[in-house]
């Protein structure tokens, strides 16, 4: 009983998502939907005539269908060669009416987090995560994911040195895509970066700011000592 309720809930979610998708007639080109789909209108449109990718299905019903078989249908009806990654084991459960080839193709990519890659003579379907790992490597994939994390913006008021003097040293503590803006009027730095970067950024700013104060004090002491020696008639340069 619980399983039936869960399956019904999933079907309602899929159907609701499809209704919204079908009304907007937008395709996930960023996931690899063929560019030819840009020429396709909604089902029943005159612009769909004589265009293989613009064909419409009156009804599509799948119940725990192998993903390989579903893409075989898409290949047969479009004349496009489609190769599915053997690692994909998804089971497709969908019931759709009056849906175009492009809409169905795009919906599969979105629902099952897939990617379509144009190869020489065919489309290759694989998991989205696997696509990014192959394209950028594991390390770069992690960097990409971090790049999608929300950033924070914090303001640091510098007390003892000019704020612009800290920009270059701080680049060793910030992310590659961090932003550092100088507010010369308040002698402050406005920094946007990942939250986990700010402890190191704050520590470096404190260190450099204190160092600037120490340098200033040292210079004052040297000047005082020299003037006192002059008053006493001491030849501080040596004879």
β-pairing, 91-100 vs 56-66, is antiparallel
Q: Are residues 111 and 167 in the same domain?
A: no
Q: Are residues 168 and 83 in the same domain?
A: no
Least confident of 44-53, 99-108, 162-171, 225-234: 225-234
- Domain CATH number, residue 75: 3.55.50.30
Q: Has residue 146 been placed in a domain? A: no
Q: Are residues 6 and 112 in the same domain?
A: yes
Inter-residue contact 127 to 88 (CB < 8 Å): yes
For the question of whether the overall pTM of this predicted structure is more than 0.75, the answer is no
More confident residue, 83 or 132: 83
SS3 180: strand
Q: Are residues 114 and 213 in the same domain?
A: no
Q: Has residue 239 been placed in a domain? A: no
Residues spanned by the domain of 198: 152-231
Q: Are residues 129 and 161 in the same domain?
A: no
Q: Has residue 237 been placed in a domain? A: no
Show the tokens assigned to 72: 């075989």
Q: Distance between CA 236 and CA 157 in Å, rounded?
A: 40
> How many independent structural domains does the chain possess?
2
Q: Are residues 107 and 44 in the same domain?
A: yes
β-pairing, 188-193 vs 179-183, is antiparallel
Q: Has residue 236 been placed in a domain? A: no
Q: How confident is the model at residue 138 (pLDDT cuts 50, 70, 90)?
A: low
Q: Distance between CA 141 and CA 145 in Å, rounded?
A: 6
Per-position b or e across 127-149, b if 16+ CB within 10 A of its CB: beeebbeeeeeeeebeeeeeeee
Q: Has residue 26 been placed in a domain? A: yes
Q: Are residues 131 and 159 in the same domain?
A: no
Find the length of the chain: 239
Three-point CA angle 199, 203, 209, nearest 5°: 145
Contacts of 177 (CB under 8 A, 6+ apart): 147
Q: Has residue 160 been placed in a domain? A: yes
Q: Are residues 129 and 162 in the same domain?
A: no
Q: Are residues 174 and 126 in the same domain?
A: no
Q: How confident is the model at residue 30 (pLDDT cuts 50, 70, 90)?
A: confident
Q: Has residue 147 been placed in a domain? A: no
- Domain boundary residue, one of 103, 137, 171: 137
Give the mean pLDDT of 154-168: 89
- Domain CATH number, residue 194: 3.30.1370.120
DSSP3 helix / strand / coil % (the chain, rounded to 5): 50, 20, 25
């Amino acid at each position: 009983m619980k399983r039936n309720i869960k399956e019904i809930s999933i079907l309602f979610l899929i159907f609701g998502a499809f209704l919204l998708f079908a009304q907007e007639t937008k395709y996930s080109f960023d996931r690899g939907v063929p560019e030819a789909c840009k020429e396709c209108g909604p089902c029943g449109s005159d612009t769909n005539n004589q265009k293989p990718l613009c064909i419409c299905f009156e009804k599509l019903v799948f119940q725990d269908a192998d993903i390989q078989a579903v893409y075989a249908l898409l290949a047969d009806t479009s004349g496009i060669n489609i190769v599915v990654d053997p690692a994909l084991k998804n089971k497709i459960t969908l019931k759709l009416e009056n849906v175009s080839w492009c809409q169905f193709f795009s919906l599969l990519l979105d629902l099952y987090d897939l990617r379509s890659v144009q190869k020489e003579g065919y489309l290759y379907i694989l998991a989205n995560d696997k696509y990014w790992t192959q394209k950028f490597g594991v390390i770069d994939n992690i960097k990409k994911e971090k790049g999608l994390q929300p950033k924070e913006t914090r303001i640091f008021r510098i007390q003892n040195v000019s704020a612009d003097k800290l920009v270059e040293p701080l680049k060793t503590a910030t992310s590659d895509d961090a932003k550092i803006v100088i507010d010369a009027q308040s002698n402050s730095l406005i920094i946007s970066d990942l939250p986990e970067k700010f402890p190191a950024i704050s520590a470096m700013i404190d260190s450099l700011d204190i160092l600037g104060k120490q340098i200033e004090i040292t210079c004052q002491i040297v000047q005082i000592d020299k003037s006192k020696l002059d008053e006493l008639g001491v030849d501080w340069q040596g004879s």
